Structure 1
């Protein structure tokens, strides 16, 4: 039971405003956890393992439904389903299926933990997750991180990064971002745009602290207006200014933030395109985005992908992946739109 409670314990938090969702994985109709548990048990016991059935069932159920299947499986087989799946599967498919047995926030928390424990830090993963998650998502990730690893996310991030890069990530983890309001404060928009310009392009040297406070504390709709207004002060847009003013991981982090403020789903679509077109498709990135966003906004990511790259994400997956991994990824993306 320990494993089930460790992976499937769900924190329900009432936080902030709920962003609209565009999932590709939605609750299955006529859902019967006992029937699904029986199908999974048979698939695992089959000689050579029936991967197709495991994919068909688990990629077409929401996390809440997968959790119900796991409890039904345990009652039926007197075994932990996650342990059984680990024993039956291997490689990329195992990574995807075990990822699906976590809630979105548990999955994010585990990916963050994986990127900072051990030798060296996987800055790319850390930047992608911390700079793209909403305030509400971050609040939940912090709570789940504490529950799963008995550690504070802030302390772990602080212990594993340094300088202004650490300051920016910590500011994001502290979730001080203002909630969006229906009232537009044009004076504040102008002040922030001017401050970003004065703290960067206008003067020699960059006042990174000012950039961090504006970009980690203002609401997303406010920042979208600030970046528009910024163009009336600076000869460069915000992304060009970031490239000119800062370097390394700090530059990457600011760029991801600005891209996500402007169009988060387009940011993920670009990440997927780069990952699949790079030599030896960066499977880890593809898996992380599709698994972590399938119950959030993957439908919108697919639509941005098609608009910007002239073909569907599903077609690109067909071209750059293979086998059971390909089947699982296609199933999570849903039919071509």
Structure 2
């Protein structure tokens, strides 16, 4: 039972971040009985027309580790892989949510990255969102899992699908050379980096992108926050205005995403969700990816930032822009109205 062994191995792949506090909307349930859940899912899949509600109720209210144990029990009982069974029973956006939940966070990110670089053309937005918003530890785990899942190096695939300074920035981030945060505040280095960013951009004609990439990809996040504050004593513009003036296209989006995530990662995701649900309907892929990937990390805080930013709750907004089983699954993961 190779798949069973693989599922158990996945339990060691889940990363809670270790250092950052988490604010999840999905928690492990007490009195957890994986055999009972597996039997209920088996019955739901075999029901005529498929009992989607039961599948949603179980998978959206269990933690990643618990879902892994359910899959293990399901395979023992049904003699088949639960992910494959779900794929055969579900379709559309609700299928994407459920299959996403069956992966560990790193596996889900790795799959989304792979999908963004598949076939002709590249989905730069997805690449930027994941690579620029994940911590060094998360990126290191994603690289490891990407290699295990696809027998390829993430760096190679990124290099093959992007070009120019945009490729250089993504490659620098994927190489995970960022300094660990330190208790010692190096004011001299802060001043030096702030001045270097100014002199490499606004002060000169043309932009020394290499310097910007090195500072943005190698310095610790607390250090960079202080650098951006100090930067305004050299430049007439803040760092975001400077980025907009100096670079364009995917490189501009990437630098802005980095700065937004350094300042307030949850606000960045709230803004992405808001943008994805502007006007009629919703960009299902973006909404699914953010809610699935953040539900056991910081979705409670994303909810709070969303409400502050929009004056309307994430729960209410998702209700307005989605429907059917897809809507039920997302609302369950969001975990309540604000």
| TM-score in terms of structure 1 length | 0.97
2:23: which partner in 1?
A: 22
1:332: which partner in 2?
A: 333
Question: RMSD of aligned C-alpha atoms?
Answer: 1.7
In structure 2, distance between residues paired with 1:245 and 1:211: 11
In structure 1, distance between residues paired with 2:215 and 2:332: 40
Aligned pair count reads 337
In structure 2, distance between residues paired with 1:36 and 1:255: 43
1:182 offset after TM fit, Å?
A: 1.4
Residue ranges of structure 2 left out of the alignment (5+ in a row): none
TM-superposition CA deviations, 1:204-254 (whole Å, max 9, x none): 110000000000001111111111111111111111100100011111100
1:14 offset after TM fit, Å?
A: 9.1
In structure 2, distance between residues paired with 1:13 and 1:324: 27
Conserved 8 A contact 2:27-2:296: yes
Cα 1:215–1:58 shift into 2, 3 Å? same
Residue ranges of structure 1 left out of the alignment (5+ in a row): none
Cα 1:180–1:255 shift into 2, 3 Å? same
In structure 1, distance between residues paired with 2:168 and 2:301: 31
Structure 1 residues 1-337: aligned runs within 5 Å:
1=1, 9-10=9-10, 11-12=12-13, 18-337=19-338
In structure 1, distance between residues paired with 2:288 and 2:4: 22
Cα 1:12–1:287 shift into 2, 3 Å? closer
Cα 1:56–1:13 shift into 2, 3 Å? closer
1:336 offset after TM fit, Å?
A: 2.2
1:12 offset after TM fit, Å?
A: 4.0
TM-superposition CA deviations, 1:59-81 (whole Å, max 9, x none): 00011100100111111112211
Conserved 8 A contact 1:227-1:238: yes
Structure 1 residue matching 2:277: 3-state secondary structure: helix
Cα 1:9–1:263 shift into 2, 3 Å? same
In structure 2, distance between residues paired with 1:331 and 1:117: 30
In structure 1, distance between residues paired with 2:270 and 2:290: 9
In structure 1, distance between residues paired with 2:205 and 2:152: 40
1:280 offset after TM fit, Å?
A: 3.6
In structure 1, distance between residues paired with 2:53 and 2:281: 24
Structure 2 residue matching 1:140: 3-state secondary structure: helix
| TM-score in terms of structure 2 length | 0.96
Cα 1:14–1:103 shift into 2, 3 Å? closer
Conserved 8 A contact 1:269-1:302: yes
TM-superposition CA deviations, 1:253-278 (whole Å, max 9, x none): 00100100010100000000000114
Cα 1:225–1:17 shift into 2, 3 Å? farther
In structure 2, distance between residues paired with 1:4 and 1:313: 37
Moved more, 312-321 or 6-15: 6-15
Conserved 8 A contact 1:105-1:137: yes
Structure 1 residue matching 2:180: 3-state secondary structure: coil
Cα 1:5–1:111 shift into 2, 3 Å? farther
Conserved 8 A contact 1:139-1:175: yes
